[in-house]
Amino acid sequence: MQKILRRRIFRDLKENKFRYLALGLLIVLGMYIVIGLVGAADTVIVQTAETAKANRAEDGQFSVFAPLTEKEKSSLEGEGITLEEHFYLDYAPAGKSTLSEAGGLSGDAGSTDGAVLRVFTQRKHIDLVQIDSGRLPKEEGEILLERRFCEEHGISAGDRITLGGREFTVTGIGTAPDYESPFRSFSDSAVDSVRFGLGFVTGEDYSRLREAGGSISSEEYTYAYLLNGRMTDKQLKEQLKGLEVSAGDIEDAFFREYWERNGGKLDGGLAVSLSKLTRFVPAGDNPRIGSAGNDKYVDKAAGLAAGVIVLILFAYVISVFTVHSIERESGVIGTLYAMGVKRKELMRHYLCLPVLVTFLAGVTGTVLGYSSFGVNRYLSEPYGYFSIPQVEVVYEPYLLLYGLAVPPLAAAFTNYLVIRKKLARPALALIRGERKRDRVAAMHLSGGFVRIFRLRQLLRERRTAAAVFLGMFISLLIVMLSLDCYAICSYVKTENARDTRFAWMYNYKYPEAKVPKGGEEAYGVTMKKEVLGYSFDVTLMGIHDGNPYFDASVEKGEDRVLVSSALAQKYGIGEGDVLTLLDEERDRYYAFRVDGIVTYSTGFFAFMDIDSMRELMGESEDYYNIVFSDHSLNIDHGRLYAALPKEDVEKSAAVFVEQMKSMVISLLVVSALIFAVVMYLMMKVMIDRSAPAVSLFKVFGYRKKEIGKLYLNGNFFVVAISALVGIPLAKAVMDLMFPYMVANVACGINLAFSWQMYAGIFFSALVLYGIINGFLMRRVNRILPAEVLKMRE
Amino acid sequence: MYLEVKDLRKSYGEGGSYVEVLKGVDLSVEKGAMCVIQGASGSGKSTLLHCIGGLEEAGSGSVSVDGMGICGLLPEELSDYRRANLGFIFQFYNLVPNLTVKENIQVCEYLTDSPLDMGELLGTLGLDGHQDKFPAQLSGGQQQRCAIARALIKNPKLLLCDEPTGALDSHTSRDILELLEGVNRKYGTTMLIVTHNNSIRHMVDQVVCLKDGQVMQDYRNEEKVPAAQLEDL
């Protein structure tokens, strides 16, 4: 029996080739995207972890106020850990500010205006550079540059650049595991390799650069460490906290001035103790490390889940076809039962085609996904963002199994659930074509004929309408994902520019005695707060009430803060809540009552009265470490950790939009495709089922327009109502999921859409419906009046 | 004449599969008359009915109804022709299964500005109390009554019936024929009935017998036998 039935399968496939081809192609596309996306994610996760291990990626790093003495270093290394100096100097192009005029980066390496290059001594023990091309610098005047920076500026080995007045030849291009996300600062939310990169020179050259001056901020004393299983991060931190600055050992003029002003006595030994440790960052808390892999975990989970959901949708669509076939063939099925054919044999037969189509499509999609058009194409996105080395594609067996087994299994499962009741009816009932009393379809309706007719049609086709709704909902989820990405990026771009009122923000290492003229003093302490498994920097910022750069009316009180809107959105904090922050430097938690939310999207800030904050932190009455100004100030760069112009804030915010643009567009195209194909196939099924009635209506003298009005225009309401329900529902569901997808991104999550956006989505759905309706009208027109005379409904 | 068919020819297929179904049929029916078209399977009677109903295009010849020629009309014009002039009754009723009796009748009521009274029609056809039922809840006879009501609601000038009793038992067939007889009397509807049933020819005004696509007999009954008295139905 199966042999005979099997012949029918191929006939059915041939008869409905366009229908199955359209669905098959959608499954191919879906599996191609899932396998490509997840395969690329696996490749990045596995390979970056392996290369990081091979390159002796750090267990963590810490920064100190002044370099460790040999004795301190020996004492720490005596515990069995490995330490390496990762000191650095930042250089910027000439003409950027008074700070950077002496520095600069130029030459024949392409335009690098506005960029900052962080220069290190090449590493020997920790965070070794993985060379993509060329070689490490060996001699004077040689430098190795970070890959992404080179790509953005068209730099290749052999090019020359000028740093701090010295000319260097690029000998190689590579990546470092401690800068997988090359953030200039830990609190950066997006990588911008146009504006920031790394360089590695020989130890001698580094010393020459330091001595020549010209960097845009003071040298940062950072050490990378490997614990070697000999101690924990916590134990190391405890030891480091015990280290104090020995002022006499520091020759920095700015430090000496600062030290004397604060009561130190350089000639007579220390009178004031100062902790040496300024920042302690275990690798797990470092947003620059392992970020590519972390980012891809989200892609992987979302890709696998989305694949299953989309496959269930397609399997459901196929099940609608199968149900249609079973209803049409009920007489034959009854006859076969009467002749002794078993239900499970017919079940197997009806499952065969969906399973075959989905399996073939799944295999094709998987092969394409693993081809150079798939995984490699999806790898270009992390390569184009993260600073990771070129890696070989990893073929994980589970993904192969997913691509080959999930499509047919989803089809078999969904179809089994849908058709088992249809096949469970008695033989005689099937032969007679008796239909089970359908209470929903038989409900009493009132109103005009057209209204009643459309409602009856809708009730009869509610399974098909459900598939249209489901298809639309899944498409809308993708639309919302895409538009949420767009919204978050576009808000970051527009709001960051709007909210950044200062022209410059200066972050002091050694504050001057008096606030420079034209500057507005503030006191900032970087703290930590965790959300969704990620820990981000939150700046507790002491400001004067009336600070012109923030809309924050702060009041006196050591436990009262106003939080920035970005912080409130990311952490879900509202007025009256308690905000708890961890000061890692002091190893202390602070709890604050939130008095309100300040419109400030540029970062995670908690604003408080500067005097209250000085008192809380035990600082002097005139202490400050940040100055804002509406113009460039003449400040010696040796006093600063960093100087941030408004232009940098705006440009790094704009990076988001650029990076997301292609993803947003491709997601919108995929969602429109899913919606259009599902809607077309389902509405075509409705018409095919109604073909006898349509033919009959033509016999009675109904005109094309009238038939369209009865049979197609009713779908307008299905689509319109689905859109009206689906749009807010999909938006709500995606807004719940979205924060998890961007859990590793340090920015506020404003996902609000304007009413124009909602209207745009709604009308786009209707326009798409209109186009499909036009195609279906052609199908209705092809139904001839004589058809009803050849068949019985 | 209300209906005039002249030298109507219709063929299907090409080459080896070429079949000429109607081979120059001539036929005239007076207004208000009941006419039966008889013939064996494949004689062309249904094709003739479809050509008159504008459902199939004739190869050559002409069909005119109430002075209006329908051959060569565009599909939309044929729709208007059927809408304005015709009612159809089929052997297998062709009711829309997800519409109630009343809603099925409304399908055709919608097509005219001056429909017959729905309540009166339901009463005449014995469908009182069934108007909210779905076709699956009705007997074969009731379903055919519903189909007749649907055809009559727009008060057509010409009623085309394709084996109206073909799926019914003799008792129900008689009921249906009595009904058609009554409708003809009450509304003056011209009727063209295609049937295998020999007995029906006694109750109509005109009988046309087809064989191999040609009219073999075309005569008028001097005396009609009321449907209630027909034998061997």
Share of chain B above pLDDT 70, in %: 100
Predicted pLDDT of residue A304: 87
More confident residue, A322 or A187: A322
User: Measured between alpha carbons, how far is A381 from A383 in angstroms, rounded to an integer?
Assistant: 5
Kind plus residue range of the DSSP H or E element containing A485: helix A462-499
B90 contacts A700? CB cut-off 8 A: no
Query: What mean pLDDT is reported for chain A?
Result: 86
Domains and CATH numbers, chain B: 3-229 (3.40.50.300)
Name every chain B residue with its beta carbon within 8 A of the beta carbon of A699.
53, 55, 82, 88
**Residues paired with A79 in a beta bridge:** none
| pLDDT mean over B48-63 | 91
| The domain boundary residue, chosen from A254, A285, A316 | A285
Q: Which domain holds residue A351?
A: 1-56+292-436
CA nearest to A702 within chain B: B79
Name every chain B residue with its beta carbon within 8 A of the beta carbon of A786.
50, 55-56
A567 and A583 fall within a common domain: yes
Q: Out of B97, B106, B132, whose CB is closest to A449?
A: B106
Say whether residue B99 is in contact with chain A using an 8 A CB cutoff: yes
* A250 within some domain: no
A743 and A792 fall within a common domain: yes
CA nearest to A461 within chain B: B98
B55 contacts A789? CB cut-off 8 A: yes
A490 and A547 fall within a common domain: no
Q: How many CA within 13 A on the CB side of residue B28?
A: 3
What's the distance, CA A648 to chain centroid?
22
Residue B127 reports pLDDT greater than 60: yes
User: Measured between alpha carbons, how far is A279 from A189 in angstroms, rounded to an integer?
Assistant: 19
User: Measured between alpha carbons, how far is A422 from A439 in angstroms, rounded to an integer?
Assistant: 16
| pLDDT mean over A742-754 | 84
* Tokens matching residue A144: 């190795």
More confident residue, A10 or A83: A83
Q: How confident is the model over A193-211, as pLDDT tens digits?
A: 988 999 999 999 999 998 8
Q: How confident is the model over B89-123, as pLDDT tens digits?
A: 888 888 888 889 999 999 999 999 889 889 988 98
* Tokens matching residue A639: 């006093």
Q: Nearest CA to CA, how far is B222 from chain A (Å)?
A: 34
Predicted pLDDT of residue A105: 41
Predicted pLDDT of residue A504: 93
* Banded pLDDT at A273 (limits 50, 70, 90): low
Query: What mean pLDDT is reported for chain B?
Result: 90
* Banded pLDDT at A790 (limits 50, 70, 90): low
Beta strands A578-583; A605-609: pairing state: unpaired
- Whether A354 and A16 have beta carbons less than 8 Å apart is answered as no
Name every chain A residue with its beta carbon within 8 A of the beta carbon of B108.
700
Say whether residue A254 is in contact with chain B using an 8 A CB cutoff: no
A681 and A668 fall within a common domain: yes
Residues contacting A318, CB < 8 A, separation 6+: A23, A353, A354, A357, A358, A411, A414, A415
Instruction: Give me the interface pTM, i.e. the ipTM.
Output: 0.86
A672 and A576 fall within a common domain: no
Say whether residue B163 is in contact with chain A using an 8 A CB cutoff: no
φ, ψ of residue A537 to 5 degrees: the values are -75, 135
A52 and A64 fall within a common domain: no
Out of A36-40, A273-277, A318-322, A565-569, least confident range: A273-277
* A506 within some domain: no
* A184 within some domain: yes
* Banded pLDDT at A641 (limits 50, 70, 90): confident
φ, ψ of residue A82 to 5 degrees: the values are -105, 135
Tell whether pTM > 0.90. Answer: no
Predicted pLDDT of residue B165: 87
* A253 within some domain: no
Out of A93-107, A246-260, A480-494, least confident range: A93-107
A92 and A186 fall within a common domain: yes
Q: How confident is the model over A173-191, as pLDDT tens digits?
A: 999 999 999 998 887 777 8
Residue A603 reports pLDDT greater than 50: yes
CA nearest to B153 within chain A: A700
Which of 13-52 (A) contact B at CB < 8 A?
none
Say whether residue A456 is in contact with chain B using an 8 A CB cutoff: yes
Judged by DSSP in three states, B221 sits in coil
Q: How confident is the model over A128-176, as pLDDT tens digits?
A: 999 999 999 999 999 999 999 999 988 999 998 888 888 899 999 999 9
Say whether residue B136 is in contact with chain A using an 8 A CB cutoff: yes
* A636 within some domain: no
- Whether B156 and B187 have beta carbons less than 8 Å apart is answered as no
* Number of domain units in chain A: 4
* A219 within some domain: yes
* A507 within some domain: no
Name every chain B residue with its beta carbon within 8 A of the beta carbon of A434.
136
Residue A793 reports pLDDT greater than 60: no
A163 and A225 fall within a common domain: yes
More confident residue, A741 or A183: A183
A349 and A306 fall within a common domain: yes
Going edge to edge, which strands form the sheet with B190-195? B86-89, B158-162, B190-195, B34-39, B206-211, B214-220
A662 and A719 fall within a common domain: yes
CA nearest to B152 within chain A: A700
Predicted pLDDT of residue A264: 61
A441 contacts B46? CB cut-off 8 A: no
A526 and A569 fall within a common domain: yes
CA nearest to B102 within chain A: A449
A227 and A120 fall within a common domain: yes
* A504 within some domain: no
A788 contacts B99? CB cut-off 8 A: no
Q: Which string of DSSP letters, residue by residue, matches A292-316?
A: HHHHHHHHHHHHHHHHHHHHHHHHH
A435 contacts B103? CB cut-off 8 A: no
| pLDDT mean over A7-30 | 85
Predicted pLDDT of residue A95: 28
Q: How confident is the model over B178-233, as pLDDT tens digits?
A: 989 988 998 899 999 999 888 899 999 999 999 999 999 999 999 989 988 888 77
CA nearest to A788 within chain B: B94
**Residues paired with B159 in a beta bridge:** B87, B191
Predicted pLDDT of residue A101: 36
| pLDDT mean over A426-436 | 78
Residue A577 reports pLDDT greater than 50: yes
Best of B55, B139, B194 to disrupt the A interface (most A CBs within 10 Å) is: B55
- Whether B125 and B149 have beta carbons less than 8 Å apart is answered as yes
Q: Nearest CA to CA, how far is A792 from chain B (Å)?
A: 7
CA nearest to B109 within chain A: A449
Say whether residue B110 is in contact with chain A using an 8 A CB cutoff: yes
Say whether residue B225 is in contact with chain A using an 8 A CB cutoff: no
Amino acid of residue B36: V
User: Measured between alpha carbons, how far is A116 from A131 in angstroms, rounded to an integer?
Assistant: 21
DSSP symbol at A275: B
Predicted pLDDT of residue A108: 40
* Banded pLDDT at A413 (limits 50, 70, 90): very high
